[in-house]
Chain A
Amino acid sequence: MSTPSAEHPGHPAALLHHFDTAEQQKDASTLGMWLFLITEIMFFGGMFTAYVAGRFRFHEAFKEASNTLDVTLGAINTTVLICSSLTMALAVHAAQVGKKKQIVWFLLATILLGCTFLGVKVVEYHDKFVHHHVPGLHFHFPGPNARNAEMFFSIYFGMTGLHALHMVVGVGLLAVLAVRAGKGWFTPDYYTPVEMTGLYWHFVDIVWIFLFPLLYLLGAHFAITGH
């Protein structure tokens, strides 16, 4: 990302030497960021493919395993992430209209919500350890589909783990942004880093939007109706 160069701390809006105009520079950053997000889609895509293939072949086992997940916690986390996406969008908006204090507050709110999500995730992971639902030597699952359920949990940990890792990176980026926003770096003429981090954050939100129904809800009606 063509974030402001460290060589020009006083002029964060500095135009890098190889660009002709600030607009060209911003266009390049936007396109670059979107291409990066495409690579992220494909990166998660490999795991989604593994999920689809596994679910196609072992539907029963995936259903049973899915029903051990806590839908309430999942739904709460979905809501938390959507809220964080809103505060992120509002942070970008504040940067666009030049409300420098608001940028900081919205970024801090986003960080707080992100940490909340990760906190809930820790609770859920802990729950898995307690119930021996972590794949590996100590894995235990009742019924005849135990081995296939282990595959579900492998994919569950793979996908949510990778997602959580992206959240951690995102929180780190937001923290850097918040400090810089506090120093008044971002103006309506120059807020590319806020916007780019926003794109990243929304992308991580989208991944969760798919993970939630695919992992938590795929057999929910069986849990209720019991067949």
Chain B
Amino acid sequence: MITAREEKLNYLTADYGVKSWLLTVDHKRIALLYLATITLFFFLGGAFAVLIRLELLTPAGDLVQSQTYNKLFTMHGVIMVFFFLIPAVPAVLGNFLVPLMIGARDLAFPRLNLASWYIFVIGGTLSILAAILGGVDTGWTFYTPYSSTYSNTYVMITAVGIFITGFASILTGLNFIVTIHRMRAPGLTWFRMPLFIWANYAASLIMVLGTPVVAVTILLVGVERAFGLCIFNPNCGGDPVLFQHLFWFYSHPAVYIMILPTMGVISELVAACTRKQIFGYKLVAMASVAIAVLGFLVWGHHLFVSGQSVYAGLVFSFLSYAVGIPSAVKVFNWTATLYKGANTYQTPMLYAFGFIGLFTIGGLTGLMLAATGLDVHVHDTYFVVAHFHYIMVGGAIMGYLGGMHFWWPKMTGRMYPELPAKLSALVIFVGFNLTFFPQFLLGYLGMPRRYHAYPEEFQVLNVMSTAGASVLAFGYALPMFYFVWSLRYGQRVGNNPWGAKGLEWLTSSPPPTHNFDVTPIVTEPAYAYAAEEGAEIVHT
């Protein structure tokens, strides 16, 4: 029996050799390719963060020159945003799980999927090349006219890298939308789909509708820089604020590309760990779509002090408040699901708890920033830095790691060790808060972002932040070790180690190349835990 199970080929053992990986069209292998690539980028971006925090340990600008510091925070932002956070959940967990969760044999366009990874690698390589050659100092936002006219750093190479990478994102989103529309298993109606699928669908809408705009915006900056065209250049009447409009039309929704799929992960974790149907399933599903749609209407809150019309500011402020509604719906519904659930506290759930708490703080401070009156005061201070790190790191990365732990046994067929995993969740949570909560205070006290030196009265909070960053770095390093360790020594698991609902748990761990030996037929809603337990009672 055991040997028979071991002999069964899965997607990892179906073929061997570098070529079989580099030319694979299997969505699961492509997910692992993405995993390896973005992990590399994560630690690269993290290295820049370490240098930033070290410089800020003392008030004087003693570790690096201001010019170097500008490059450090720019490269940190560029790599973390475009090469880690945006692909993190969709391209790794989404790629792996979307076909499995809807009972399909692959994504609709497997070769496009592979192409997207190559495009991503080419774009990433160019950006690293720019860093090696000497870096870029415009900030990840590439504001004109500094980026298009004045900066003497490697703006062009970085811009081309990001332009190219955008298409990887577009192809992933396009692939997901088509797959979710056309390839669901028999019986899997829209309102039976797991919330992870809904969330990825919503994020894919943003990738398809938003990414092209940032691509063309970067293209315009590129031609302005290279050929002297006049689009944003104030010398011929161009408007730098137009650049900000076009840039944030994508880059604000891009935050939802990071957070929406993560919210999908949290929904899965909460359902599995409470053994309950998600409270208000339909509302949570529709909230994902609502966030995607409303998320497109709020970008102007980045321009409150840029010279945008105050009337437009009012509208954008109001709409930014509106996007808080579906976000809050999700938080309330997760907590309502926890109520009287058969709650368990394994690692994924700890990460989910971390997500809910930190995302709430990040979201509420976001509402504060959406108020024009307050934003005028804390704009471009550490308050903003702390706010978006609570969303992107406290939210997106917590959820991503929670998902990685939850589906790790499905991906590899082996369980991670529970004790160090719990430790990592705890260390990350503590380290994160220690790093970023002081930054709220710093910002509120008036410390501006993007400077390498600061007045002495800010030192205590900055030392706390740097201390927290080292705890955080330790927390992030832990999973690297025990995940790799578990590949060889982890306990082997069966199809469904969590006893969770969902089509991905029906197939073997790791799944065979074509996912399912028999196409599953869906007869019940997502997370039908109560139904199953009820049935058991009848049988006994």
Chain A residues with a Cβ under 8 A of chain B:
1-2, 16-20, 24, 27-28, 31-32, 35-36, 38-40, 42-47, 49-50, 53-54, 57-58, 61, 135-137, 147-148, 150-151, 154-155, 157-158
Residue ID in chain A nearest B214 by CB atoms: A46
Q: How far is the CA of A54 from the CA of B245 in the complex (A)?
A: 14
Of A20, A31, A46, which is within 8 A of B177 by CB? Answer: A31
Residue ID in chain A nearest B177 by CB atoms: A35
Chain B residues with a Cβ under 8 A of chain A:
104-110, 170, 174-175, 177-179, 181-183, 208-213, 215-217, 220, 223-224, 227-231, 235-239, 242, 245-246, 514, 519
Of B104, B208, B220, B238, which is within 8 A of A158 by CB? Answer: B220
Contact assessment for A151 and B212 in the assembled complex, using a CB-CB cutoff below 8 Å? no
Residue ID in chain A nearest B245 by CB atoms: A49
Closest 8 CB pairs of A and B: A46-B216, A43-B212, A18-B106, A154-B229, A147-B236, A18-B105, A42-B212, A136-B228
A-chain residues with CB within 8 Å of residue B235 when the two chains form the complex:
147
A-chain residues with CB within 8 Å of residue B514 when the two chains form the complex:
17-18
A-chain residues with CB within 8 Å of residue B230 when the two chains form the complex:
135, 147, 150-151, 154
B-chain residues with CB within 8 Å of residue A57 when the two chains form the complex:
237, 239
Whole-angstrom distance between the Cβ of B425 and the nearest chain A Cβ: 36
Q: How far is the CA of A38 from the CA of B106 in the complex (A)?
A: 24
Contact assessment for B183 and A28 in the assembled complex, using a CB-CB cutoff below 8 Å? yes
Q: How far is the CA of A42 from the CA of B296 in the complex (A)?
A: 13
**Interface class of chain B by DSSP:** helix
A-chain residues with CB within 8 Å of residue B175 when the two chains form the complex:
32
Q: What would 5 A/B residue contacts be, using CB atoms closer than 8 Å?
A: A31-B181, A35-B174, A35-B178, A47-B220, A147-B237
Whole-angstrom distance between the Cβ of A212 and the nearest chain B Cβ: 20
Q: How far is the CA of A151 from the CA of B231 in the complex (A)?
A: 6
Q: How far is the CA of A1 from the CA of B209 in the complex (A)?
A: 19
Residue ID in chain B nearest A50 by CB atoms: B231
Contact assessment for B178 and A28 in the assembled complex, using a CB-CB cutoff below 8 Å? yes
Contact assessment for A31 and B105 in the assembled complex, using a CB-CB cutoff below 8 Å? no
Of A20, A43, A157, which is within 8 A of B216 by CB? Answer: A43
Q: How far is the CA of A78 from the CA of B468 in the complex (A)?
A: 63
Contact assessment for B236 and A151 in the assembled complex, using a CB-CB cutoff below 8 Å? yes
Of B110, B209, B236, which is within 8 A of A18 by CB? Answer: B110
A-B contact sample (18 more), CB < 8 A, given A39-B208, A53-B239: A1-B109, A24-B183, A27-B182, A28-B108, A36-B174, A40-B212, A47-B220, A50-B242, A57-B239, A135-B229, A136-B228, A137-B228, A154-B224, A154-B230, A154-B231, A155-B231, A158-B229, A158-B231
A-chain residues with CB within 8 Å of residue B210 when the two chains form the complex:
42
A-chain residues with CB within 8 Å of residue B109 when the two chains form the complex:
1-2, 28, 32
A-chain residues with CB within 8 Å of residue B223 when the two chains form the complex:
158
Q: A46-B217, A158-B223 are in contact. Are A39 and B231 (CB under 8 A)?
A: no
A-chain residues with CB within 8 Å of residue B227 when the two chains form the complex:
135-136
Residue ID in chain B nearest A136 by CB atoms: B228
B-chain residues with CB within 8 Å of residue A155 when the two chains form the complex:
231
Contact assessment for A49 and B246 in the assembled complex, using a CB-CB cutoff below 8 Å? yes
A-chain residues with CB within 8 Å of residue B107 when the two chains form the complex:
18
Contact assessment for A39 and B177 in the assembled complex, using a CB-CB cutoff below 8 Å? no
